Structure 1
Amino acid sequence: MKKLIYLVAALCMAACGGAEPAADLHVMTFNMRYDNPEDGEHNWRFRKERAAEAIVSRGIDLLGTQEVLANQFADLRELLPGYEAVGVGREDGAAQGEFNAVFWRADRFTLLDSGTFWLSETPETPGSKGWDGACERIATWAVLRERGGAELLFVNTHLDHVGKVARREGVALLAERIEALRGGRPVILTGDFNSEQGSPVIAHVQHTGLLCDAKRMAAETAGPDWSFSDFGEIPVEYRPLLDYIFVSAGIEVRRYAVLDETATGGFVSDHAPVEAEISIVR
């Protein structure tokens, strides 16, 4: 496994490093925690403004979200008036179940195309579960054109928390669809991968060298090494990193940060948002 990880790192350095950068973009992946009435003081209604402020205050241009229910999607669209978004519920392809909604700054990007597919043996079937997965899992994608600039493919997902086969095959399907959709464009993949760094899942995402972990590519890093705290219930030494931003060749990562509650003014979710400052090479 160590040899595989070193090989992945070498491929990433070769594929994702090197040319003259363009203007900065700020990208975030953010597992919002679904609106669970049993969360008490951490329920969505008590933290939604703080969650939106964490996005706006950091000037996020591109945002991938996970675990967003329909009412949360509506709240975010109201609280983020400068953003446009796409997304559907995973249970029916409309409004039922969790969304993996993608948001972008309307003054910076134009939407060219978008869609959702299910991480299953029948990816076009709404509500389909894949392999040994416990839940329906989806990926939402958008092809965006920067105003007066380049196009990119943004993909956002949430892998299963139980099914090992579902995570493995989900990554394989993601790779297949990204290859089909990217059309030579730079790619950004965000999500909760329910897998830690050094795991076969994260190695699998990067094994072709097309996608690289932004943390490994960053010139500067900040924040903790974990992204899941369960609202601070997990002791610090046991908290895992589950949330990732991956980038393709043609993208330089200048800074990477995990934003825990000390950076966001309190808990915004049971997960900490993960942010990367990137440049698309023209």
Structure 2
Amino acid sequence: MKKLFFLLMLAGAVSCGKAPQELTVMTMNVRYDNPEDGENNWRFRRERVGRLIREQQVDLLGTQEVLSNQYDDLRAELPAYASVGVGREDGARAGEFNAIFYRTERFDLLDSGTFWLSETPEVAGSKGWDAACERIATWVILRDGTNGRELLFVNTHLDHMGEQARREGVTLLLDRIAALRGDRPVILTGDFNADPSSTVIAHVLEDGTLRSAWDAAAVRHGAGWSFADFGQIPVGERPLIDYVFFGGGFEADECTILPDTLGGGYVSDHAPVRALLRYAE
């Protein structure tokens, strides 16, 4: 009888928000649906991508290079998740999405939005500075049902050509994070098209608001690179350009750069980066 009473008390504690304080965050550039990719085309990879995310039990996911058909496919592959995202060319369905996915059994959506990394961030389809492409950031404010805490999650993809666009894009990201977060902890994910020694990443980290999960994690797994172009880049030359950053109430227990293959084929031309974050007491 005493054992039963203890188990009931434990179950009640969990239901009242005393569940484990960790969450799994992943960033993944899924590679846009390019018909010239042959056997690495999206139609051959989409089920692998869905399987990977489900197997990793991801709580929060930031994606890049997602076209509208890929967005629809991911939503079908991930029925346990809700999502937020728009196409960068028109703020609706045209162009690449930086879609965010979150586990609905854990999180409630409080607010969300998208802004363009440009001199006119509220203008859909605007291109900033010397960027080759339109670039956007998608954000959500979520309430974590396990503990009642709120968090800000931002996901982006910096330009692959424009140095000024990357630099100014980071400035805009940091300004928006400061405006949106309040006293909430924050997570920033994305493909930054910049390696850890670059001035771009130094800019992300310079005011101390954010830390890189790969640098700060107590435990790290995987190779130190995240882009291999479907194995075309020699191992010693593969860069780390995909990141999970965090700040203001999180600690990084673990960070893993996962393999870019699953079940005998590629999941993407990028390797997913997964971080295990913990709410600081």
For residues 94 and 26 of structure 1, the distance between their equivalents in structure 2, rounded to whole angstroms, comes to 28
Unpaired stretches in structure 1, ≥5 consecutive residues:
1-20
**Are 2:228 and 1:257 equivalent residues in the alignment?**
no
Contact 1:134–1:160 (CA<8 Å) still a contact in 2? yes
Q: Percent identity?
A: 63
The equivalent residue for 1:73 is 71
**Are 2:209 and 1:196 equivalent residues in the alignment?**
no
1:23, distance to aligned residue in structure 2 (A): 1.5
For residues 264 and 256 of structure 1, the distance between their equivalents in structure 2, rounded to whole angstroms, comes to 22
Return 188-197 or 140-149, whichever deviates more: 140-149
Deviations 1:169-223 (A, max 9, x none): 0000000000000011000000000000111000000110000011111000000
1:260, distance to aligned residue in structure 2 (A): 1.5
For residues 30 and 161 of structure 1, the distance between their equivalents in structure 2, rounded to whole angstroms, comes to 16
For residues 183 and 261 of structure 1, the distance between their equivalents in structure 2, rounded to whole angstroms, comes to 36
Q: What is the DSSP-based 3-state SS (H/G/I as helix, E as strand, rest coil) of the residue aligned with 1:276? A: strand
For residues 162 and 259 of structure 2, the distance between their equivalents in structure 1, rounded to whole angstroms, comes to 28
Deviations 1:22-77 (A, max 9, x none): 52100000000000000000000001000111111010000000000000000000
Return 85-94 or 141-150, whichever deviates more: 141-150
Contact 1:151–1:185 (CA<8 Å) still a contact in 2? yes
Q: How many residues align?
A: 262
1:263, distance to aligned residue in structure 2 (A): 6.2
Amino acid at match of 2:260: E
Return 263-272 or 92-101, whichever deviates more: 263-272
Identify the structure with bigger relative contact order (alpha carbons < 8 Å, sequence gap 6+).
1
For residues 97 and 62 of structure 1, the distance between their equivalents in structure 2, rounded to whole angstroms, comes to 23
The equivalent residue for 1:233 is 232
The equivalent residue for 1:89 is 87
The equivalent residue for 1:216 is 215
The equivalent residue for 1:18 is none
For residues 81 and 270 of structure 2, the distance between their equivalents in structure 1, rounded to whole angstroms, comes to 22
The equivalent residue for 1:41 is 39
Q: TM-score, normalised by structure 2?
A: 0.91
Q: Work out which of the two has the higher radius of gyration on C-alpha atoms and give 1 or 2.
A: 2
Judged with a 3 Å threshold, the aligned counterparts in structure 2 of structure 1 residues 261 and 159 are, in CA distance, closer, same or farther, namely closer
Deviations 1:80-103 (A, max 9, x none): 000000000000000000000000
CA RMSD across the alignment: 1.2
Select the residue among 104, 117, 128 that pairs with 1:130: 128
Q: What is the DSSP-based 3-state SS (H/G/I as helix, E as strand, rest coil) of the residue aligned with 1:172? A: helix
Contact 1:54–1:264 (CA<8 Å) still a contact in 2? no
Q: TM-score, normalised by structure 1?
A: 0.91
Structure 1 residue runs of 4 or more that deviate by more than 4 Å after TM superposition: 262-265
Q: What is the DSSP-based 3-state SS (H/G/I as helix, E as strand, rest coil) of the residue aligned with 1:77? A: helix
For residues 22 and 175 of structure 2, the distance between their equivalents in structure 1, rounded to whole angstroms, comes to 28
Contact 2:87–2:96 (CA<8 Å) still a contact in 1? yes
